[in-house]
Amino acid sequence: MTTRPFAALILAAGKGTRMKSDLHKVLHPIAGRPMLGHLLAAVDQLGAAKSVVVTGAAREQVEAFVAPLGVDVVTQEPQLGTAHAVQQGEQALAGFDGDVLILYGDVPLVRPETLARMLDRLNAGDAPAAVVLGFRPADPLAYGRIIATDGTIERMVEYKDARAAERAVTLCNSGLMAVRAADLWPLLARVGNDNAAQEYYLPDIVMIAAADGRRSAVIEADAWEVAGVNSRAELAAVEGEWQARRRLAAMADGATLIAPDTVWFAYDTQVGRDVVIEPNVFFGPKAVIEDKVIIHGFSHIEGAIVRSGAEVGPYARLRPGADIGNDAKIGNFVEVKNGRFGKGAKANHLSYIGDADVGANANIGAGTITCNYDGFLKYRTVIGAGAFIGSNSALVAPVTIGDGAIVAAGSVMTRDVAPDALALARGRQEAREGWAATFRETMKARKAKAGK
């Protein structure tokens, strides 16, 4: 792989009107990460020296997203075509003499390996003026065409300007290019707008270089990798493609997905070996599933770690900060938020455990809640190892239940409980013999009288 420095110039000035959204198009998420984030992660993985995003409308949204990442944002206004858009990055890349990858913010799935191939081809012995990423879609539609022989480009033409024979060519232009900075800016300065749309087209630099006697090269990628997003339907299609490939990767790495098409991963979901994932499971960002875990159906896991041997669900929800220990069990309709469960601890039914530490082998009965919020601040509950919390109990934080302690069912705990103690906090049970029968007879008589 080439060691020359490279910069990424990402075009994102389109208004995205077909998205019908107040959110900038490139910030719509795929697998829980904005499309632009996928691209930036790819170029970061390759070690980009600098990244620049060219935007137009809603610039402030893009700036807010990339500000923590050290990415520059420049504006294209008015929008006069792709060559004009790339020119807007010239000042941001002033003094940079490496290679430039030209990418598109709404083409999020291109792989780092493909970008590396583009850079390697640019720096091959024949030193092409530019490298264009081509693809062969099932339906070429109105994509620009690439006419090439043995990987050398003879002509590139936009569909609007193509003749019938050129439209019959199946090799299409993705728009992604790699060019040396020393070549890029002089070539762009010579691009004209004598075409059907009266726009300045980036692909024209290939033909301008050819007129100077310098050939450009094309390499190919799979069509899915350069799929663009211009509408909600295309967003869903790209999401589906990403998910399908992630499911295959999970299974190839040793996980069992009972119904793969119903499992949804986030961009950073980690899944170990011998994990079993039942149907209709959703992973949000920052979920880590260690080896030999079982995730039952209809569970939602985000920002949580599930350690080896644990079991989750069905219908469980693990929120950010949940840490489910080895061999622990989180059962049906149990929600855990910022809660740590020790080895072998259990909450099998219908409970909310928030801001809590649950010791090893503790048992949380059905209907238990940790009352962690007073409307202003949150507080922590500590449940000791081997403790038993009876059903329908409320633990009002801050409170500590000692190791081995038992909380009787239906109790409300507002004070700490010593280890191995029995704690009860509920009204005394009272029974009045015959009262129910007398009540029924009285009410029947009253009802009959009212009916008259």
Contact 31, 266 (CB under 8 A): yes
Cα distance between the two ends of the chain: 97
> H helices within 180-225, ranges in order?
181-189, 204-211
- CA dist 185 and 144 (Å) reads 22
Question: Per-residue DSSP letters for 257-284?
Answer: ESSGGG-B--TT-EE-TT-EE-SS-EE-
Task: Give the HSE-up count for residue 263: Cα atoms under 13 Å, Cβ half-sphere.
Answer: 25
Residues sharing a CB contact under 8 Å with residue 110, sequence separation 6 or more, in sequence order: 39, 42, 103, 133, 176, 221, 225, 226
- Residue 423 φ then ψ, to 5°: -120, 130
Count of CB atoms situated within 10 Å of the CB of 442? 10
Question: Per-residue DSSP letters for 90-140?
Answer: TTTTTT--SEEEEEETT-TT--HHHHHHHHHHHTSTT--SEEEEEE--SS-
> Cα-atom radius of gyration of the chain, to the nearest Å?
31
Nearest-CA neighbor of 155 among 196, 100, 209, 194? 209
Q: Taking the alpha carbons of 444, 449, 451, 452 in that order, is the dihedral positive or negative?
A: positive
Please report, as a single letter, which amino acid is at residue 181: A
Which structure tokens are listed for 93? 């890349």
- Angle among Cα 108, 114, 120 to the nearest 5 degrees reads 140
Looking only at the bridges linking them, the beta strands covering 217-220 and 335-341 are: unpaired
24 catalytically annotated = no
- In eight-state DSSP terms, residue 145 is E
Annotated catalytic residue within 84, 296, 300, 349: 349
Chain mean position to CA 209? 40
Q: Which residues are catalytic?
A: 349
